[in-house]
Amino acid sequence: MISLKKIRNSTYRRNDRIFQKIYDKKVLSKNISILKINIYSKIKTVLNLELACLMIYVLLRTKIPPNIVSIFGVFWVLLGALLINFENNILIYSGVLILFFKLVPDYADGQLASLKKQTTTIGHELDVWAGNIGTPIAMSGFFIYSIKNNPVGQLDLFYLIFLVTNIFSFADLRFYLSKFKKTYYDKFLKTHTQKRINNKFVNITSSNFLLNAIKFFHFDGRSRYIDFLLLLLILELNFDIQILYVFPIIWSATYPLAFFKSVYLSLMK
């Protein structure tokens, strides 16, 4: 049976190859200059990978297939989103930790598949699906928390706005139409990665300040965005302030805009 040390070495090498292809640098390398990377992102990535290695070590001793781990990742995020909405602080902080480490199953499933020699395109598609559905689930957790904790109080109207926002979050056509797919299965890396155009990853930006601001505040599941929201949540728990409710107000506008943008782009020739 593979030792934890070998799992760690293999997992770090695999992810460093992936990061090198995405960012053109070995993010996990000990020799890389601190000025060339985001140190916070590196520390968090290392923490996620260490937990993923422990998870892989246990899973290798079972018959659980990697695709089950991908599906578990969705329920992992759902559990975190539910826990932050309890009244008990221990449960809330448990939810905070789960959402902070929400990428652990994502790091574990691909490496587990590689070690078990069970890498498939279905696994890649499940990974993408888990990422797509995990975003509105995490958003819902923060949205409901904000409905329960805002200066105005709980109103039925807020739940209606939440329902409409959630519908738009799942309805974005870019999740389903092949013309918008930004990822593909890399047979060499045995994982999914982003497409490139002229050796640059597909990431269209605008020079318009308003559009960039909307894109910046729109909830798209970015890890650092979630971490920032978790920080605000912790501040609310420990101080007499209410800040988090502002973000769902923004999302209730950005998600419909994102949906109509996807419709517009879908109809363009």
Q: How high is the mean pLDDT in each 10-residue block of the chain (269 residues)? A: 91 85 65 63 91 96 94 97 96 97 94 89 87 94 96 93 96 84 57 49 57 87 95 95 95 95 86
What's residue 81's pLDDT?
Answer: 97
What's residue 206's pLDDT?
Answer: 53
What's residue 200's pLDDT?
Answer: 44
What's residue 175's pLDDT?
Answer: 85
What's residue 198's pLDDT?
Answer: 41
The count of other CB atoms within 10 Å of the CB of residue 213 is 12
Q: Which two tokens stand for residue 89?
A: 């602080």
What's residue 11's pLDDT?
Answer: 92
What's residue 187's pLDDT?
Answer: 54
